[in-house]
Amino acid sequence: MTGITPSQTVGPYFKYGLTPNGEYAWNDAFGNDLVTPDVTGERIRIEGQVFDGDGQAVADAMLEIWQADGQGRFGDPQDAAHCRTRRFVGSAVVAPINTVAFRSVPSSRDPCPVRVASHRRRTLSLPSMPGA
């Protein structure tokens, strides 16, 4: 048996490493467009804002999502298929103030956002402490 490695704050400086978006000398492994040419289904755009506990918009929150494709299949090798997980940083440059957007295809049978208990929705990392 081995103990789990603890998590630590992502800190304020993750952008150049995880979501450089052309602003640093590094490439993105992910983007915000999950639609590949071979997928079927209705194209949708998901957008919203991220707020901190004081109701202030967070300009550089990184969101990560994953979902099944239009046939309800996951891209994971444990399922079969097309859909890929992407990540995106909300930015005033890309969209109006602190808006984040994903373009995606709705799944026919994926209820994951409601099935995952709130304490297990580990899909949002925030710079919880300044300067970390």
- Number of chain residues interacting with other proteins (CB under 8 A): 53
Q: Which position among 43, 52, 76, 97 is part of the footprint of other proteins (CB under 8 A)?
A: 76
Does residue 103 interact with other proteins by CB under 8 A? no
Q: Which of 98, 121, 110, 107 is nearest to 49 (CA)?
A: 98
Q: Which stretch binds other proteins (CB under 8 A): 40-48, 50-58, 94-102, 113-121?
A: 113-121
Contacting other proteins within 24-63 (CB under 8 A): 24-27, 29-30
CB 34 within 8 A of CB 105: yes
Does residue 119 interact with other proteins by CB under 8 A? no
Looking at 2-123, which runs of residues are DSSP E strands?
A: 44-49, 62-65, 86-89, 99-104
